[in-house]
Each structure stands twice: as structure tokens, then as C-alpha cells.
Amino acid sequence: MPVAYSPDEIKKSKSASIKDGAFWAISLGSGEASVQPFVIGLLGAGFDFTVLLTAVPPFIGALAQFIATPSLTQLRSRRLFSTFVLILQAFTWLAMAYLAVSGQTWAAMAAILIYCLYYMFNLLISPVWNVWMSEIVELADRGRYFAIRNRIIVILQVIVSIAVGWLLLQTFAPLSMLFAGIFLLAFTSRLISGHFLYQMADHPHPHGEHGPRLALKTFLTHPSFAEERHFSLYISLLLAATYLSSCFYAYYLIQVLHVDYFSYFLIILAAPLAKFITYPYWGKVNDRYGTRALLYVSGLLVPIGPLIWFLSPDVGILMIAEFLAGIAWSGFDLATFNYLLSHPDPGARLTISSVYTLGKGAGILLGSLAALLLFFLWPTWGMAGLTVFAALFLLSSIGRFIISFSFLPFFSKTAFDRTMQSNQFLLEVLAGRPARDLSSNLVSSSVSGYHQAKSGVDFSRRMAQQGIERTVRMLRPMRKISQRK
């Protein structure tokens, strides 16, 4: 067991983590949200570079996390490792700022490579931070604490993203200087975030936290994991269909529809804001009808977004489309999150989550490359009167529906009804998927694509309450037995 944290260490660490999250939110709202407008609008990247920028970094990051997670959970100093990786990540924004003013012909390709490093650093920090925070924040306080932290992060990101969109419309400086200033803000904010991260106390377990890990070969071959393999395949294929369209949303808005930067940011914020707002309502559906029903309903709703993009290019309609897409994906996120946590074996959950993350990255890459191939073949194979963008929107919507309709009826109810110990479940919900993962969804440039399930504010509170109620129910039989004795 790790050395216990003193009350003073806990208090200072929780305060430092909130400050870390606040400055990290500023970095996300300024830097991550601006990458695609920067590469497309300033560097003049074409469709191919846009697709690569969307698809390659998530896959590289997922692959790096898949390989490194077993070692990362054994670290002796999580504070030093996390701070060091965070500083490296901050310098990716400094490199982006240089590209903005460099005027180099290779700047777009360099931006893709730098963004791959950014993603990799981000996903390497995540599993370390998850375990670390689960030790610092007391079980009884996690719902309240992460609710506050989430609110701060989301509000700051929305404000900063909208301010960035407004700034890019101004004419008091060249566009290249405006982008460079935005990336310098992201760089500075991330360094300040690292300063507060380093102030957190750290007493790691000398032998890691997760116990024996399920062997990958066992997961891939043993009959008892057939349903989990089926589920991972479903998510991968659904993401492939999703990214037939999601991979080029930014390009379509900026280069085809010629929307201004402010309108662009309003559109990309619609879906994640809808997710954040509707998590608690989907939570009530989950409580009443179960996770399997929630997955079924939301899985059949996710084709709505690209279908509306196919029907209308109006900016107002696209904002509505993204908001509706966010509602659908928030339910899907929650159902998937519950499914991933449902396996009672922690070692198995670690392997399942790793395979799931890598499968997501592979699905994103596969769908994006398919879109890229169709884009180049369309002049030869395309239909008269139908643009390649409209075709991809339609194919994405149809593909999502066919995949969900084919897979969802065959998931057994038993797989979604498995339960864990209440304290273990609460630990996973509030520490395993903290605000650090929630907020990354808010500014993703391909916001209608699927992202890893997040624990929203009201969802965290609801799960905290359920965890306490489960604990009370578990203790009642033990109390009766004790009284009989």
C-alpha cells in the first residue's frame, strides 16, 4: 500500500490539481482547438493533410499508451514523470508557434508530426494521473471535488475557445502572428499547469496498483472474452464509419463553406456542450432501463449528425446538427463507459481498456484513410450532381446505422449486468475517468466523432450517491450476522 497522505498534503494537492486543471483548460481552449483552423486556414493544407491531422495523432497516441501502460503503472515517482512529460507537451505548442511565423513550405507536415507528439504525451500522462488522483482524493469527497473541477475546466475552455474565435477575426495583426500568439498562450498555460502539478504530493505504491494483468493472448483467444472482443470490434467499426465524415469537418467548414473562425468555433463547441448538458439525463435513462437499452437507443441515434450535414450546408442548421449529435453521443459514451467498467477483474479491465483504446485509434485511422481514398477516386468514380463531401456524409450515416443495427441486438443482457464492489466502482468512475479526460472532448476538432466516455458533473454526483447506497446495502447483512453472533 502507498504511504498515507497527511490532511495537509491532501488539502494542498487538491488545491494544486484544480489550478493545474484550470490552466490546462486554457491551454486546450487556445491550442488544441486552434490546430485544425491553423493548418487549414493559415498553412493552406489540403484535404489529404486535414485527414492525416485528424487520424494519425490519435492512433499514434493510442498505440503508445497501449505499449507503455503496464510500465507506467509501476513508476516510482509519478510527479517527476508527469511533470517532465507535461513540459515536453508544452513545447509542442512552442513549435506550433514557430511554424505559424516560419513561412516554410513543409510547415503543414511538420504540424502533423508535432501534433502526434502532443497526443502521445497526453495519453502517456493519463493512466499515471488517474491512479495518482485516486489516492489523493478521499472516496467520500470524489463526487463533490471532481464536480467542481469539471465545472471550472469546462467553463474556462468555452470562454477561451470563443475568445480565440473572435481574436482570429481581428485585423490589428497578421493572421500568422495571431496564431503564434494563441499557441504561445497554450505553451505558457501548460507550463503553469505543470508548475501546479509538481506541487502535488506523491506516495506511489512500490509495485504498482493493478495487480496481475490479463494476458493479451488470453483476451484474444479465450471463449469467456468473446463478448468483449465483439464489443471492441463494434466500436472500431462504428468509429471507422464515423470518421468517414468526421475527419474532414474542419476542412469542409473553412475551405468549402468558407465560414469565419468565430462561426467555426461555435459549430465545433455545439456537440461537446450538448454532451456535457445531457449526461445526467442519459444517466436517468440508464438507471431506469439499463446500460444495454441505453447503448441500443443511442447507437441507433448516432447516424443523425452526418445525415443533417448531407441535407443542408447552412451554418445554423449545422450547429443544430452538432448539438443533436452531441446528445446521441453522450448517451453512447455513458453506455460504453459503464460496459468497460462492468468486468469484475481489475487486471482484465486494464487489458480490455487498452485493447479498446487501440481499437478506437485503429477505427479512426481506417475510416479516415477510406475517406481520403474516396476523395481522390471521386473524379473518376463519382456520381454526377453529388459532391464527394455529400457522398461521405451519406455513407457515414448509412454505415453507422448498418453497423449499430448489425451488432447491437446480439449483446447479451448479462454482460451489462455485471457489478463490482461499490467502493471499487466509485474509484473507477471518479478517478479512472477524471475531468482531465472529460475536458479533452470539449475542444476536439472532430467533435461529432466518438470519444472516450467521460464522467460528467451530475453523473459523478449520481454515481457517488449510488456507491454510498450500495455500501450501506452491503453492510446491512454483515451487521445482522454480527448481531446474531
455, 426, 400: which is closest to 141 by C-alpha? Answer: 426
Question: What count of other Cβ atoms lies within 10 Å of the Cβ of residue 423?
Answer: 14
pLDDT of residue 452: 30
Residue type, 426: L
Compute the distance between CA of residue 429 and CA of residue 459 in angstroms, rounded to an integer: 9
Question: What is the structure's pLDDT at 343?
Answer: 58
Question: What DSSP character marks residue 453?
Answer: -
Query: Which CATH architecture best describes the domain 7-201+216-476?
Result: Up-down Bundle (1.20)
pTM to 2 decimal places: 0.78
- State how far the Cα of 13 lies from the Cα of 129, in Å rounded to an integer: 13
- Three cell numbers, residue 280: 445526467
Cα separation, 89 vs 108, in Å, equals: 19
**According to DSSP H, which parts of 168-225 are helical?**
175-198, 216-221
Q: List own/partner pairs for 15-19 with CB under 8 A and 24 or more apart.
A: 16/196, 16/197, 16/199, 16/200, 17/133, 17/136, 17/149, 17/196, 17/197, 17/200, 18/148, 18/149, 18/152, 19/193, 19/196
User: Which amino acid belongs to residue 216?
Assistant: L
441 DSSP 8-state letter: T
CA angle, residues 155, 159, 162, in degrees to nearest 5: 140
pLDDT tens string 33-60 = 899 999 999 999 999 999 999 999 989 9
Q: What is the CA radius of gyration of the chain?
A: 22
Q: H or E stretch including 285? A: helix 261-289
Give the chain's residues under pLDDT 50.
Answer: 1, 210, 418-485
**CA dihedral of 432, 338, 319, 56, whole degrees rounded to 10:** 60
pLDDT the model gives residue 337: 74
Q: What is the DSSP string of 324-348?
A: HHHHHHHHHHHHHHHHHH--S-HHH
pLDDT in tens, 452-485: 333 333 333 443 344 444 444 444 443 444 444 4
